[in-house]
Amino acid sequence: MLKDLLDRSLPLAGAPGVRCSDATLDSWRPTTHDIAASGAKLLAFWADTSAGATVLAAFACDRSVLVLQLRLPSDEASYPSIADIFPAAGRMERAAADLTGIRARDGDIRPWLRHSAWPSSYLPLAAPADDRRHEGVPLADQYPFVRVSGDGVHEIPVGPVHAGIIEPGHFRFSIVGEKVLKLEEHLGYVHKGIERLFTETKLLEGHRLAARISGDSGVAYSWAYCQALEGMAGTVVPDRASWLRALALESERIANHLGDLGALGNDAGFAFGLAQFSRLKESWLRHLAAALGQRYLLDFVVPGGTGVDAESAPLASLVACARTIAAEAANIRTIYDEHAGLRDRFVGAGTVTVELAKRLGLIGLAGRASGQDFDLRLDLPCDPYTRLDVRKCGRDDGDVAARVAVRFEELQESLRLVQEIVERLPTGESRAAVSVPSAGSAGIGLVEGWRGPVMVALSARADGYVARCHPHDPSWQNWPVLEHAVIGNIVPDFPLINKSFNLSYSGHDL
């Protein structure tokens, strides 16, 4: 059934292997059932009102990506929910309802993004461009958390405001003693109106906004945006630019893994790890700024290629830094592995079994630590990953220790890839001209960010502006899994388990 569906589907511009197929109200759920039965993964779900009410879902299946779209009749504003088929879709359906008014039948009707930030009658992605009306201050929603009752059960509310500079999110624990019976998250407090801002942005300028969706994944988002745009415009990106983009993406992965490995050591009471990895991360960022122009590469990937080229001397220095970090990280890993206190905190904490990870759709780094080995760099590669022999890293244990091990291994692999990319970096131009895509054209960008697959769905308006842009972070799939990972653990282990996932609030709360 899935093969027939793929054969009948039409190619979409942008990332390789992306195809699109239409569904009807009657075929929507049966088709989704068939896709799930094939073992496909849900990559994203969103709604679009730019050309009539439409809901769309993207699935990774059979070394390709299928976008299934359902155009609703003019007298219909709801569709059958697929949250029972793909559990991660539940919150995506709720967010789509908050933004567009298109609602899932028989789904969770609680608001997800709104948080009384605007009246319930106001729909940011369905309102006219000049509609900024906020009629008074909306009353605060009484969010109906799911209650757990029984002898000795009580609740601990945490957030949404946290200490320091941690982003806001509410966590409601139901516990007996210190053991967690249930965790329910309520996120969406970082809503910045990103998807609405895109509709007021020129197509050739949207990469800057994309890079700032989640600052620690700026390269992944801006590359995915540009990939969709370049596919729509028919632009051929210079070979050198593709390799420089890969260099930037692996550099972003390195910086985040260095930061997380230090923070995980610190959360387990091992300040030495934080000190050492903070030192290595700072060294890496300084060399990165010298080689590619920024510590955090928010403006490096641009339409047609890269914003700056790279010179040989700073690139050689970056490679030398990569070799040094690889050797030091290997030594620190030995210390982590042999430290009894860290092993006691890491092993068995926050376990997500292979079966649970598959059922809930866990993806990215956290998924690879629970036997879900999907990685776009190998399973659906774009240039230059088609010419790079990337080694896939993974574990089956699914606990904090497994997620730490995957980080160590991916760090070493990215450091190796940086050296290979610089050695094989082609000569030539680093940027090509990009024309404005025609009205109505659409594209999909897909890039394996450090957390997991980042997707950008883009469509064009007649005036050269974005008609609709939906950026999707893998945190959408993985936040719900965290609720399961903490069950049976003690409350003091939650910060450690949470950090081992290190999911994005900002990339999730669009």
Question: Helices 494-501 and 400-424 meet at what angle, rounded to 10?
Answer: 30
Do residues 94 and 218 share a domain? no
**pLDDT reported for residue 136:** 58
Per residue in 359-372, pLDDT (tens digit) is 999 999 999 999 99
Do residues 282 and 427 share a domain? yes
Report how far apart, in Å, the C-alpha atoms of 356 and of each of 81, 352, 493 are: 21, 6, 20
> Nearest CA to 268 among 494, 478, 502?
494
Enumerate the β-bridge partners of residue 440.
none
Burial class (CB in 10 A: 0-12, 13-18, 19+), 419: middle
DSSP E strand boundaries for 227-355: 301-302, 305-306
**pLDDT reported for residue 370:** 98
318 within domain boundaries: yes
Do residues 273 and 404 share a domain? yes
Q: How far apart are the C-alpha atoms of 383 and 237, rounded to whole Å?
A: 10
Enumerate the β-bridge partners of residue 58.
44, 67
63 within domain boundaries: yes
Q: How far apart are the C-alpha atoms of 344 and 79, rounded to whole Å?
A: 48
**pLDDT reported for residue 276:** 98
Do residues 259 and 395 share a domain? yes
Which domain-ending residue is among 71, 105, 139? 105
Q: How far apart are the C-alpha atoms of 192 and 213, rounded to whole Å?
A: 9
Q: Hey, is 96 helix, strand or coil? A: helix
Q: How far apart are the C-alpha atoms of 253 and 71, rounded to whole Å?
A: 38
**pLDDT reported for residue 362:** 98
> Nearest CA to 113 among 25, 51, 46, 174?
46
**pLDDT reported for residue 137:** 58
**pLDDT reported for residue 330:** 98
CB-hemisphere CA count at 13 Å for 167? 18
What residue type is assigned to position 42 of the chain?
L
Domain count, the chain: 2
124 within domain boundaries: no
CATH number, position 23:
3.30.460.80
Q: Which residue has the tokens 């080689």?
A: 291
How much is the pTM? 0.96
CATH number, position 431:
1.10.645.10
Task: Annotate 441-491 with DSSP letters as a single string.
Answer: -EEEEEEE-SSSEEEEEEEE-TTSBEEEEEEE-THHHHHHHHHHHTTTSBG
**Residues whose CB is less than 8 angstroms from the CB of residue 140 and which lie 6 or more positions away in sequence, other chains included:** 116
The parent domain of residue 53 ranges over 2-105
151 within domain boundaries: no
**pLDDT reported for residue 508:** 87
Tell whether omega for the bond before 238 is within 30 degrees of 0, i.e. cis.
no
Strand 170-176 with 78-80, pairing: unpaired
139 within domain boundaries: no
148 within domain boundaries: no
**pLDDT reported for residue 263:** 97
Which residues of the chain fall short of a pLDDT of 70? 1, 129-141
Per residue in 392-449, pLDDT (tens digit) is 999 999 999 999 999 999 999 999 999 999 999 999 999 999 999 999 999 999 999 9
Q: How far apart are the C-alpha atoms of 54 and 78, rounded to whole Å?
A: 10
399 within domain boundaries: yes
Q: How far apart are the C-alpha atoms of 50 and 447, rounded to whole Å?
A: 25
Do residues 70 and 210 share a domain? no
Which domain-ending residue is among 105, 136, 159? 105
Task: Annotate 100-124 with DSSP letters as a single string.
Answer: H--EEETS--S-SS-TTSS-TT--T
214 within domain boundaries: yes
**Average pLDDT value over all residues in the chain:** 94
Q: How many H helices and E strands in the chain? A: 16, 16
